[in-house]
Amino acid sequence: MQVLVAMSGGVDSSVAAALLAEEGHEVVGVTLKLWGGDSDSGCCSVSDVDDARRVADGLGVEHLVFNFGDDFTTHVVGPYVADHAAGLTPNPCIECNRHLKFDRLLKRASVLGFDAVATGHHARIEPVGPDGALRVVRGVDGAKDQSYVIHMLTGDQLARVLLPIGGMTKDEVRARATELGLRTADKPDSQDVCFISHRGGGREAFLGSRIPLRPGRLVDTSGTHLGEVDAVELVTVGQRRGLGVAIDGEPRYALSVDVADATVVVGAADELLVDGEALAGVVWADDAARAQAIGAVDVTAQVSAHGEPVAVTEVVAHDDGTVVVRWAEPQRRVAAGQSVVLYAGDAVLGGGTVTR
C-alpha cells in the first residue's frame, strides 16, 4: 500500500512512519507548511520541518513539504481571530484537522495516487458500527487520547486513514523511537497553539495586531460593577485568572462574555453549572451513529481535549440543525466555540460546536 504519512517533526508521527515502513508499505513522509509567521511552539516551526526530514532520511523514505499556508489562513487563523472578536473561544487544532490534515491532505494524496494518509494521532479506527461501519475510537493511552480532536472524520475519510500508534501508550511510542534511534525520541510534546509565539506578547500581541482589543466591564448577575478587564476579547467563559475579582474570599469566574457591550458577567463556581449545551455544525460518524446518539442510551460526552466523560440523558435534534445535549448532572458551562463530542463506549458518534 502506498501511504502518505503526515510528519509533524514529533515523536508520534515519526514512529507512525517507522511502523508502516516496517510493515512493508511504500511510505512517503510529508510535512505541511502551514504558517509563515513566528512560531516557537511546535508543528509550524522551521526546526520541526527539519526534524521530520531527518527522521525520514533515517528511515530511508522520501520526504515532501506541502505548502498549505493559504488554506491554513482561511480555515484556521482567520476564524480564530474572528471568533475572539465575537467573544467566542475557538479550538484551532480541531479546525486544522478538519480542513487541512483530513480534507486538503486527503485530496492531495488521492490526486498523487496514494492509497491512504497516516498520522501520529493517539486514536484508533475500528469497525464498531452496524455492518462494520468504521468509527474513530479512543486511543489505548487514555492520558494522550486524541479522538476528541478528530471527531469530525466520517466513514469515507476513515476508509483512507491509518492511525498506526493508536494502540500504543506514549511510553511505548518513545521506547520504540529510542530503539530505532530516531532523533525525536525525547522531543517534548507540542502543547500550545502552533501559530502563536511565546515571544513578544503571545496571544494578546497576536490578536492585538489583527483586531482592536477593548477594555471591558466586570459585573455580577445583577449588573453591579465589580471591576474591569484590559481586553474583553481575551476572556473566556469559565476563566478565573486575570479577572482579579473575589467576594468574601471566594473567586469569581466568567459566566458570559458580551463583546458588543464590552461586558463580562462573573459569578461563583456554582453559577457556572448548566443542565446541558446547544451544539451547531454537528458532524455524525454516520446515520446509525446519529440515531444511537438521539436514543441517548449509554451515551457520554467529552467537553475538552482530555476531559472526563460526562453522562448524557438526552440528545435532541432540532429542525434548524442545532442539537441539544442534556447532562445527567449539572456540569460547568462550556465556552461557546468549543466542541462537545459524543461517544458510545470508546467510539465517537459525532460532535459539534457549542453555541450561545
Cα 296–Cα 156–Cα 304 angle in degrees, nearest 5: 45
- DSSP for 175-202 reads HHHHHHT-TTTTPPPP-S-TTS-SGGGH
HEC secondary structure over 11-43: HHHHHHHHHHHHCCCEEEEEEEECCCCCCCCCC
Please report, in angstroms and rounded to a whole number, the separation of the first and last CA atoms in the chain. 45
Indicate the residue type of 144: K
Q: Is 44 a catalytic residue?
A: no
Cβ atoms 268, 250 nearer than 8 A: yes
Set of cell numbers at residue 140: 489505548
Cβ atoms 190, 35 nearer than 8 A: no
Specify the 3-state DSSP secondary structure of 125.
strand
The whole-angstrom separation of Cα 191 and Cα 339 is 18
Cβ atoms 225, 231 nearer than 8 A: no
Name the active-site residue from 43, 44, 93, 96. 96
Name the active-site residue from 43, 44, 93, 194. 194
Q: How far is CA 141 from each of CA 149, 165, 170, rounded to the nearest angstrom?
A: 15, 10, 7
In the chain, beta strands by DSSP E: 2-6, 26-33, 62-67, 116-118, 123-127, 134-138, 161-162, 216-219, 225-229, 246-247, 250-251, 253-258, 263-267, 273-284, 299-302, 310-317, 323-332, 339-344, 347-354
Q: Is 194 a catalytic residue?
A: yes
Cβ atoms 227, 218 nearer than 8 A: yes
Set of cell numbers at residue 323: 442539537
The whole-angstrom separation of Cα 175 and Cα 189 is 15
By annotation, the residues acting in catalysis are 96, 194
